[in-house]
Chains A and B, each alone.
Chain A
Amino acid sequence: MILIDYISTILLLAGAIFFLAGTLGLLRFPDVYTRLHALTKADNVGLGLMVAGLALQAESLAAIGKLLLIWALVLLAGGSVAHLVASGALKRGVPWWKR
């Protein structure tokens, strides 16, 4: 293994931890809004870190570009989906949890 492989490995593993955090939040958090927080933010960071780790291993500059494009698309979709689900829940009167 060369240095770049080590950096990749660290980024990929860190990404996996964020995905785990997203799922943990999804299972543990008390209402749909807080679960959306967890899923949206943690998974997007997880994917971002994985994309970074994979980009270091990619065969060409264009492939790196494609990876970044995919991440940007997921970010864009993630923001809209979170808003869509949250506003749908609010409109239908899904109560939000308070401590």
Chain B
Amino acid sequence: MQTLYFTLALFLLLNLGAGMWRVLHGPTAADRMLAAQLFGTTAVAVLLLLAQATDNAALRDVGLLFALLAAVTAVAFVRRAWPNREAKHDPD
């Protein structure tokens, strides 16, 4: 099982790398925001696999924190890092 966990974790990491192509190339700023969603799920899956593979339950807690932070980073991204073309409509 160990080998399977590590192989899958590596596979997911490559998957994440491929997804980064879209994040880097856009074309719109909205596409860059997809990184939040991509990382939210993939990083959690990688951490859970590693927790099982290395018998290190603490990594599961790291996964839990990533799951919690995914929502927060997304809000921060969308609210702060996303250039607003129609600034006059934005109440903030």
Interface residues of A (CB under 8 A from B): 1, 5, 8-9, 12-13, 15-16, 19-20, 22-23, 26-27, 32, 35-36, 39-40, 43-44, 46-47, 50-51, 54, 57-59, 63, 66-67, 69-70, 73-74, 76-78, 80-82, 84-85, 88-89, 91-94
Contacts and interface: CB of A to CB of B under 8 A. Distances in A.
B68 A73 contact: yes
- Chain A interface helix/strand/loop/mixed: helix
Contacts of B21: 27
A19 B45 contact: yes
Contacts, number: 147
Majority SS at the chain B contact face: helix
B28 A80 contact: no
Given A23-B18, A35-B22, A85-B74, A54 B40 contact: no
Interface string B59-92: 0100110011011001100100010111001000
A67 B45 contact: no
B49 to A, nearest CB: 7
B4 A43 contact: no
Contact of A51 (B48, B74, B75, B86): B48
B15 A47 contact: no
A85 B28 contact: no
